Amino acid sequence: MLGSALRRVTRLCSSSSFSSFIIFNNATNTTSSRLLLLPHYHHFSTATTVPAVHETSSLRNKLYRDTRARRRVVRRRFVKKSSNVTTNTYAAIELALDSVVKVFTVSRSPNYFLPWQNKSQRETTGSGFVIHGKKILTNAHVVADHTFLMVKKHGGSTKYRARVEAVGHECDLAILVVENEEFWEGVTFLELGDTPFLQHSVAVVGYPQGGDNISVTKGVVSRVEPTQYVHGATQLMAIQIDAAINPGNSGGPAIMGNKVVGVAFQNLSGAENIGYIIPVPVIKHFIIGVEENGKYVGFCSLGLSCQTTENVQLRKFFGMRPEMTGVLVDKINPLSDAHKILKKDDIVLAFDSVPIANDGTVPFRNRERITFDHLVSMKKPNEKCLLKVLRDAKEHEFSITLRPLQPLVPVHQFDKIPSYYIFAGLVFIPLTQPYLHEYGEDWYNTSPRRLCERALRELPKKASEQLVILSQVLMDDINAGYERFAELQIKKVNGVEIENLKHLCEQVENCSAESLRFDLDDDRVIVLDYQMAKIATSRILELHRIPSAMSSDLRDEENPGIELACTS
């Protein structure tokens, strides 16, 4: 009977957080069947003398009163804390309601296979919020290739015309302005805060698809590190949160307390509730650059391609002492200031006196690490940095000027008209990654392998250098037999090495020889009768309804005869 009673109490206690104790009778020292339930924070031993039954009742009543009192205190504290959290959350949301706007964009993207045409018009929506100076901050991909922009306030029915003041596609940020003063009535300006720490809660406010009203999503910071920015194809710091960021959320603020700690901009496809926000350091770098220069200036680069030195034999070979850490220089961009100072096989030990680990990271906040590229990207254009370098087992210090560097093959061409030049049905264009993207989502595998490799790996030798390719051949008698030469690079025109598309256009238009010769990649050659080719150009343009033989950026305003020569 006692055993069954014990079993019942044990089950009861496990579910109600009490412990059971057997009471011994002082007179007989025999086990009594009476059990006393005591809270966990009271500790007794079975050898302890226990009062008589009437005294036990008093003890039980006292314990009951003490427990009730403790629970009331805990409950009051909990309610007070929860009330503060709720109040702060609601205050932040109330603040955001008077600042967050919905952005309506009409855009037309260029067709890189047919660069004289645009693709169909698209209508999209995004989010933005008001910052000081009567400006609206949003994502660059929300307004990319736009032809018309409008914004609407929360709770309002009027859409106001907006324009882009500055856009940074690398950092996926843009600043909009609204000229109509009526829009600014009752608007609240949001302040920028600091980068949140891990496990901090943030609220993302915006207008995601699925409804017209504003939406608030709460999430927790799970990671802070450099991340691939999909829109600009760059590597910058980003904050990962466990909140859903859906199409339409882009450009909305992430709020903690009463300040903005980031801008929502992308999510992780194939994963559930993993979103990314642009942190305040990147936002401030963008805004300050625009304010100081009147336009977007970009993010700096050292122009180095580095290798980790985690292998012991590698470190020993290059003369690194056991206490030394750093990264090995593999390639140097010829357009960078580092190209004049550093050499291949140098070991970069520190950046501005911050030691670089063998895996290329530097200390960041509370026992976190981040790649040293972040320190480089936060520098202003033309600002200097101090590098500690190990060369031939000897330490050196070099001062290097940092500036934004453009790749040989542009990774994006937003808000620009594609360049092209047509002669005798041969369509010449500069190679860009957007052109390769026209081959589909799996463009890396479906685009021409030789062009893809050059786009991703080759470095420019001159600031104006372009890889000019023959993208396609518009068939005509004049170019029959050359149709298989499409997607090859143009090396020379009449023996002159080609620097860029404008240079090729000038060489063709100013040709004084009877024949025109193109030397292509893979040692292929195209030869045309120059006068016959000029006549054929006009015929081919009319047949394919192409309005001009060249894009507007190639036309010489001081000598419009170039355009006439192309279309005659």
Residues labelled as active-site residues: 141, 172, 250
The residue assigned the tokens 């450009």 is: 251
Whether the CB-CB separation of 187 and 136 falls below 8 Å is answered with no
- Give every CB contact of residue 185 below 8 A, 6+ residues apart in sequence: none
Q: How far is residue 470's CA from residue 430's CA, in Å, rounded to a whole number?
A: 9
Whether the CB-CB separation of 320 and 307 falls below 8 Å is answered with no
Q: Which uninterrupted H or E stretch holds 59? A: helix 53-97
Q: Is 451 helix (H, G, I), strand (E, B) or coil?
A: helix
Q: How far is residue 268's CA from residue 223's CA, in Å, rounded to a whole number?
A: 13
Alpha helices in 260-336 (DSSP H): 280-293, 312-317
Whether the CB-CB separation of 422 and 473 falls below 8 Å is answered with no
Q: How far is residue 143's CA from residue 174's CA, in Å, rounded to a whole number?
A: 8
3-state helix vs strand vs coil in the chain, percent to 5:
30, 35, 40
Give the residues across from 308 on adjacent strands. Answer: 327
- Give every CB contact of residue 272 below 8 A, 6+ residues apart in sequence: 244
Q: Indicate the pairing of strand 31-39 with strand 18-24.
A: antiparallel
* Strands (DSSP E) found in 431-481: 468-473
Q: How many helices (H) and strands (E) does the chain have?
A: 12, 30
Q: Which uninterrupted H or E stretch holds 3? A: helix 2-16
Structure tokens at 290: 């625009």
Spell out a b/e string for 82-97, using b for 16 or more CB atoms within 10 Å of the CB, else e: eeeeeeebeebeebbe
Q: How far is residue 253's CA from residue 240's CA, in Å, rounded to a whole number?
A: 14
CA nearest to 296, candidates 417, 414, 432, 375: 414
Backbone angles phi, psi at 271, to 5 degrees: -115, 155
Q: How far is residue 528's CA from residue 518's CA, in Å, rounded to a whole number?
A: 9
Whether the CB-CB separation of 426 and 468 falls below 8 Å is answered with no
DSSP state of 106: E
In this structure, what is the dihedral angle of CA atoms 557, 559, 561, 565, given to the nearest 10 degrees? -80
CA nearest to 351, candidates 325, 385, 400: 385
